[in-house]
Structure 1
């Protein structure tokens, strides 16, 4: 038995339309599935990832418009990191995002990789990081 990788990450959103505009239209992820959540049929559930919807590329969002904001701390997620192929591409992402009014950090030199941070419409922290 062994873990072979990350399958998906699920996040809570207040507004799947804004989430779709951000992850599909701005970041370029494919919207691979739109459905009701199997565990909560009243909640819309969207999946974004690569064009084939392969495990390891998937971000899943459950829509709960009235849910209270979470608090940062033990038991919460700090951020999730999305991979880009090169330092040049990371710099291009920074310029592209800033050109569209998205606030990002400067690029950080991490030794084994470079990265920058931004927030999605619900305030989730995203890191764009070069592949190790």
Structure 2
């Protein structure tokens, strides 16, 4: 028994139409489905909603609910804004930079390009306040992932015991050291 793939991930939105327009125009996603009901099928709770489905590529579905009868949505005040985010993969750095330029031309404030060694990212917020990351692989990604794979369990075990950042992969952000080791 094993999970086959992600079916969809759902978040709340402030305005269904604005959300669809933003994701189709800013990130070129396809709007694939809308479902609206006055009663929640799983709980039978009377609560009107609009449920949207957008294809981020290859059948990776991002969904949203607009809930007009509920209090205004917010963020968990105990979780920093940089933690909870939705990350999408793009083909390469040229595509990443093109998205950055496209978003900035449309008035979206973009942070990055940030070099995470194994991948490079830009960050921004959608109109609902959800943090979005676009990431592309680093040309050395495959070799770096092999090195990280070799230490992942040791790192997890040490973190579990100490709650301090293990140094097994301290080389990851030290590009000069990585080049010397190669």
The one of the two structures with greater contact order (alpha-carbon pairs below 8 A, sep at least 6) is 1
Q: How does 1:1-132 map to 2 (within 5 A)?
A: 1-36=1-36, 39=41, 42-50=48-56, 54=59, 57-65=60-68, 66-68=70-72, 69-73=74-78, 78-131=84-137
Contact in 1 for aligned 2:115/2:121 (Cα 8 Å) = yes
Structure 1 residues 59-99: Cα deviation after superposition (integer angstroms, max 9, x where no partner):
0100023433232446xx70010110001100111111001
Question: What TM-score do the two structures reach when normalised by structure 2?
Answer: 0.63
Greater C-alpha Rg? 2
Aligned pairs, number: 128
Question: What TM-score do the two structures reach when normalised by structure 1?
Answer: 0.85
Superposed CA RMSD: 2.3
Name segments (4+ residues, structure 1) moved above 3 Å.
none
* Unmatched tracts of structure 2, length 5 or more: 142-182
Contact in 1 for aligned 2:54/2:63 (Cα 8 Å) = yes
* Unmatched tracts of structure 1, length 5 or more: none
